[in-house]
A and B are shown apart, each in its own frame.
Chain A
Amino acid sequence: MQCRLQPVATAMQLAANAGIRYVFAVLAILVAVVLQQTLDAHFSPLPPYIMFYPAVIIVAAIANSGPGLFTTLLSSVYAGYFILPPHGSFRIEHTGDIIGMLIFAVTGVMVSVLAGGFHRKRAREKKLSEQSLRRSEDHFRILGEGVKGYAIYMLDRDGTVVSWTAVAEQLKGWPEHEVLGKNFSLFFTAEAVDSGRPRQILEIARAEGSFHEEIERVRKDGSHFWAAITLTALRGEGAQPQGYAVLARDISERKQAERDIAASRSQLLSIVNSALDAIVAVDSAQRIVLFNPAAETMFGYSASDIIGQPIERLIPHRFHGVHAGHLRNFAAEGVASRNMEDLGTLSGRRSNGDEFPLEASISQGETEGGQLFTAILRDITQRRRAEAHQSLLLGELAHRVKNTLAVVQSIAAQTHRFSRPEDFYITFCGRLEALGNANDLLTSSEWEGATLADIITFSFAPYSVQGMVERWTTEGPRIWLAPNEAVTLSLVFHEMITNAVKFGALSDANGKIGINWKLTSEDAIPAVTIHWREYNGPAVNPPTRRGFGSKLLERAITHEFNGDMKNDFHSAGFECMVRLPLSAKVRVQT
């Protein structure tokens, strides 16, 4: 409706303007006539157009070409009728007057046309400038209100707010009338104001032309928000800025998102950094992009040295091709993760070149930076060692059990061969007990070996009862024997003790046994020489037939220990010298 009425209103306005302009022309002519009449009375005769020339010029200049031409016409009519003779008639007597009128008319038309051109030019310029103004106003409105979330306002050179927009009000909470004329320090936090931040910012913007920062700002209700602020100095003619345009945007959401990301990133980092397993990530070019502290310890590289390096640095040379193939296949399969156990034993390479077995799982995922492969690695050197040790122990155990069974088999065979059938069971069990005692002794030292003193004491165990223990003595340096030697010597002592109980010093109530050993070096062979001496007992006779005991004694000492021995069946008691050369299996314990 407003649009339809617009042309009518403009026409009416134009008509009104035209009326006024022609009235102005008539008034100018009237003034000219009055001045003509008045001056003519004193300075007759005046040139007929002396007052009309100025009237035409003034009217044309002020009221444009139409009223100018109108004034020219009306002035000519008036002059022709009233001024030029004969008066009171349009007839003109003198040819000179006709020429004068023509000159006036031509001059008036020319002045009016010139004035018209001048007026049109001015009107055009005015129109252009109005359009341009309208355009810049539109721009400002679009900037100020059309751009969502951007508050635009202006400050003068001291920081006083001189313009404000709806978005600015929306953002900061103050309506226009409350901020206009106030200093922009209103928008700063109290601490920022105390530290003189608003003035600093203006100074920087003045010196550098603009200033940008992301900072906490205050709303009218006192709440804080994060804003991205850009100040641009507006320079006029001079070097000093006339004011500043401020562009402010609420970035609280982005800041919160950034804080969330930072928090989750630091959480993730703390997990990665505190993990006991090594975590290594590579990009699609197989270059290391992540290397946690456990990986640093495992491989002996610092993260700063290894990041950016190819993953091959961590893999033994001979596996380079294999590894690249694995990774290609894994990428091609597109499986998210995989335990690497099904790839067999993997090997890592430390910075010092050492290889070590490792267990790994690998996962892949797309990130903004492209494909990322993450491997979680565990050094299984210790576990492998423990497994190997365990398997060794199990093998040894099986071997020892079978060996012991063979020894038992041998004891049974020898007992069967040398004993009367009715004695077999008792004799066999006694020997088995000796073997068992030797095993007990060795178990207490985890099968490392046993000392000579302990072997003798254990061999006497079946007789270690009140009234008996006082009847033997042992004395000598600490001699250590390896397990097999300890078992054999236990069986030997069992036979000697059994003989002493049956026929020797322990067969009556008074006999005693002294067992002493010392280090000797007969024939330059370092050895331990054991002296077994029975005394105070019954008189003994050499045995009539050789039994298992003497066979074992002789075999064990000469064959197993490479030693020698000498038996004496004195009437005072049995005496035996046994020499065991020192070796890795028989040695002085320090």
Chain B
Amino acid sequence: MIAEPTDRMLTILIVEDESMIGMLLEDLLQECACRVVGPANSVAQSIALIETGGMALDGAFLDINLRGEFVYPVADALLARNVPFMFITGNATYGIDPRYGAVRTLKKPFMASAIERAVKYFAEQRGSF
């Protein structure tokens, strides 16, 4: 049986410095049949995973503030590779650099339906590239 590209397991990067939240997101994504990369807890670690991980990423969830460090360089690296991503945030837009105003957000706490929508979004994006 020849697998359609959309049937392939999605590979999702998690960038989140809080272990509890990282663990939760990991569990939730695994429930949605995704393969998880990370969680990475810093910009350097994230970039290393993107550049040398050897894995084609289908999407990413980025916590904006990583122990006082902004995640934007990771966002730029993903943009450069046409990898769709979403910000993880407690607030709708609070603290997000206006340059990334168009980027979708995943709000805490995580609703199962929101995770499903996000995964669907990543799947659609993959189809368009």
Residues of A within 8 A of B (CB): 395, 398-403, 405-411, 413-414, 417, 482, 484, 488, 491, 551-552, 555-556, 559-560, 562, 583-585
Measured between beta carbons, the chain A residues less than 8 angstroms from B39 are 559
Q: Give the contact stretch, choosing among B1-9, B20-28, B76-84, B121-129.
A: B20-28
Q: Do A584 and B68 have beta carbons less than 8 Å apart? A: yes
Q: Do A559 and B41 have beta carbons less than 8 Å apart? A: yes
Task: For the complex, give the distance between the alpha carbons of A556 and B110 in Å.
Answer: 20
Given contacts A399-B89, A409-B108, A482-B67, 4 further A-B contacts (CB under 8 A): A406-B110, A407-B20, A409-B24, A491-B20
Known: A399-B95, A402-B91, A405-B109. A413 touches B18 (CB 8 A): no
User: Who on chain B is nearest to A554 by CB?
Assistant: B19
Task: For the complex, give the distance between the alpha carbons of A559 and B107 in Å.
Answer: 22
Complex interface bits, B90-129 against A, C-beta within 8 A gives 1, otherwise 0: 1100110000000000011110000000000000000000
User: Who on chain A is nearest to B94 by CB?
Assistant: A395
Known: A402-B109, A560-B41. A410 touches B94 (CB 8 A): no
Task: For the complex, give the distance between the alpha carbons of A398 and B92 in Å.
Answer: 10
Known: A402-B109, A409-B110. A488 touches B24 (CB 8 A): no
Residues of B within 8 A of A (CB): 17-24, 27-28, 39, 41, 67-68, 89-91, 94-95, 107-110
Contact of B67 among A417, A484, A491 (CB under 8 A): A484
Known: A560-B41, A584-B68. A411 touches B90 (CB 8 A): no
* Least distance between B41 CB and chain A CB atoms (Å): 6
A contact patch SS = helix
Q: Do B19 and A406 have beta carbons less than 8 Å apart? A: no
Measured between beta carbons, the chain B residues less than 8 angstroms from A399 are 89-91, 94-95
The 4 lowest CB-CB distance pairs between A and B, nearest first, are A402-B90, A410-B24, A406-B108, A399-B90
Q: Do B20 and A488 have beta carbons less than 8 Å apart? A: yes
Q: Do B108 and A403 have beta carbons less than 8 Å apart? A: yes
Task: For the complex, give the distance between the alpha carbons of A406 and B19 in Å.
Answer: 11
* Least distance between B4 CB and chain A CB atoms (Å): 31
Measured between beta carbons, the chain B residues less than 8 angstroms from A413 are 24, 27-28
User: Who on chain B is nearest to A402 by CB?
Assistant: B90
User: Who on chain B is nearest to A407 by CB?
Assistant: B20
Q: Do A405 and B108 have beta carbons less than 8 Å apart? A: yes
Task: For the complex, give the distance between the alpha carbons of A407 and B89 in Å.
Answer: 13
Q: Do A410 and B23 have beta carbons less than 8 Å apart? A: yes
Measured between beta carbons, the chain A residues less than 8 angstroms from B94 are 395, 398-399
Contact of A395 among B18, B19, B91 (CB under 8 A): B91
* Least distance between A296 CB and chain B CB atoms (Å): 40
* Least distance between A462 CB and chain B CB atoms (Å): 20
Measured between beta carbons, the chain A residues less than 8 angstroms from B68 are 584-585
* Least distance between B30 CB and chain A CB atoms (Å): 11
Q: Do B107 and A402 have beta carbons less than 8 Å apart? A: yes
* Least distance between B95 CB and chain A CB atoms (Å): 7
Q: Do B17 and A402 have beta carbons less than 8 Å apart? A: no
Measured between beta carbons, the chain B residues less than 8 angstroms from A562 are 41
Q: Do A555 and B110 have beta carbons less than 8 Å apart? A: no
Q: Do A400 and B41 have beta carbons less than 8 Å apart? A: no
Measured between beta carbons, the chain B residues less than 8 angstroms from A414 are 20, 23-24, 27
Q: Do B67 and A551 have beta carbons less than 8 Å apart? A: no
Measured between beta carbons, the chain A residues less than 8 angstroms from B23 are 410, 414, 551-552, 555
* Least distance between A549 CB and chain B CB atoms (Å): 13
Most B-side CB within 10 Å, residue of A402, A491, A559, A585: A559
Measured between beta carbons, the chain A residues less than 8 angstroms from B24 are 406, 409-410, 413-414
Measured between beta carbons, the chain A residues less than 8 angstroms from B90 are 398-403, 406
* Least distance between B15 CB and chain A CB atoms (Å): 12
The 9 sampled A-B contact pairs (Cβ below 8 Å) are: A395-B91, A395-B94, A399-B89, A402-B90, A402-B91, A403-B18, A406-B108, A407-B20, A560-B19
Task: For the complex, give the distance between the alpha carbons of A471 and B15 in Å.
Answer: 40
* Least distance between B16 CB and chain A CB atoms (Å): 9
* Least distance between A582 CB and chain B CB atoms (Å): 13
Measured between beta carbons, the chain A residues less than 8 angstroms from B20 are 406-407, 410-411, 414, 488, 491, 552
Task: For the complex, give the distance between the alpha carbons of A411 and B19 in Å.
Answer: 11
* Least distance between B47 CB and chain A CB atoms (Å): 16
Task: For the complex, give the distance between the alpha carbons of A585 and B91 in Å.
Answer: 24
